[in-house]
């Protein structure tokens, strides 16, 4: 029986890298509640960390130094911090983009303009790469090195499973469509097609 396996790239997704991502995600959430003064610096470091990892992923992919499943793992790390956008955008669509019902409007710490700008364009770049990955890289490459490669969708599933690929493509396409919609809205406001309606934050008066 042929040996199955390959030497992983610890510099891209080793235990230290994974722990760094997990800690960044959780500290970004907690900082908004217990250390608001530190939130901007944490957001900045998270953005830089994701951008650096994504650039390294592109370079390694161009050099053909990564197995398909390795690209999948690194994309999960790069994209993991954006997963909250999926239910958020779905909620916005269901509520007709009503700002009063937008849970992200009432955060305790407002993100900086740099963070919002950089984070948005990194999201678009990662989403486009994801679409390329699921359309092209996965097809026919899930058994490299005599190994069947797997992904995760509530259970272990073959990376090239047609339903699994279709679900990921649909998810990434919808997210990219939402991003394009946001760009259209921004441009419309910039050229004065419509005006932004402003709502004041509610004031809480202690009893």
The C-alpha atoms of residue 53 and residue 116 are separated, in whole angstroms, by 19
Span 37-74, pLDDT tens digits = 777 777 788 888 888 889 999 999 888 888 888 899 89
- Residue 204 backbone phi and psi in degrees, to 5: -100, 120
Please give the sequence-ordered ranges of beta strands (E in DSSP) within 1-64, or none if there are none.
Answer: none
**Mean local confidence (pLDDT), 176-182:** 82
DSSP string, 141-160: -TTGGG---EEESSSEEETT
pLDDT of the residue at 110: 63
Mean pLDDT (the chain, rounded): 76
Tell the residue number behind the tokens 């994504």, with chain if given. 54
Q: Which tens digits make up the pLDDT trace of 64-106?
A: 888 888 899 898 888 877 776 667 767 776 776 676 766 666 5
Structure tokens given for 139: 């097809």
pTM of this prediction? Answer: 0.74
Closest CA to 76 of 60, 54, 61: 54
Q: What is d(CA 128, CA 136) in angstroms, rounded to the nearest whole number?
A: 12
Name which of 194, 52, 178, 73 is nearest 133 in CA terms.
73
């Amino acid at each position: 029986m042929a040996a199955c396996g390959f030497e992983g790239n610890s510099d891209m997704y080793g235990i230290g890298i994974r722990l760094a991502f997990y800690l960044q995600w959780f500290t970004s959430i907690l900082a908004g509640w217990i250390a608001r003064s530190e939130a901007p610096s944490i957001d900045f470091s998270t953005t830089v960390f994701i951008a650096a990892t994504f650039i390294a992923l592109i370079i390694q992919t161009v050099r053909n130094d990564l197995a398909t499943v390795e690209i999948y793992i690194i994309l999960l790390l790069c994209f993991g911090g954006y997963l909250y956008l999926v239910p958020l955008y779905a909620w916005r669509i269901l509520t007709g983009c009503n700002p009063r019902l937008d849970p992200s409007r009432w955060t305790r710490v407002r993100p900086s303009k740099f963070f919002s700008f950089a984070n948005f364009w990194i999201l678009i770049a990662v989403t486009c790469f994801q679409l390329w990955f699921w359309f092209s890289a996965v097809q026919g490459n899930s058994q490299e090195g005599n190994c069947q490669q797997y992904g995760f969708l509530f259970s272990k599933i073959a990376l090239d499973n047609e339903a699994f690929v279709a679900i990921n493509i649909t998810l990434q396409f919808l997210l990219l469509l939402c991003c394009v919609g946001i760009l259209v809205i921004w441009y419309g406001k910039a050229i004065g097609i419509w005006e932004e309606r402003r709502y004041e934050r509610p004031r809480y008066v202690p009893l």
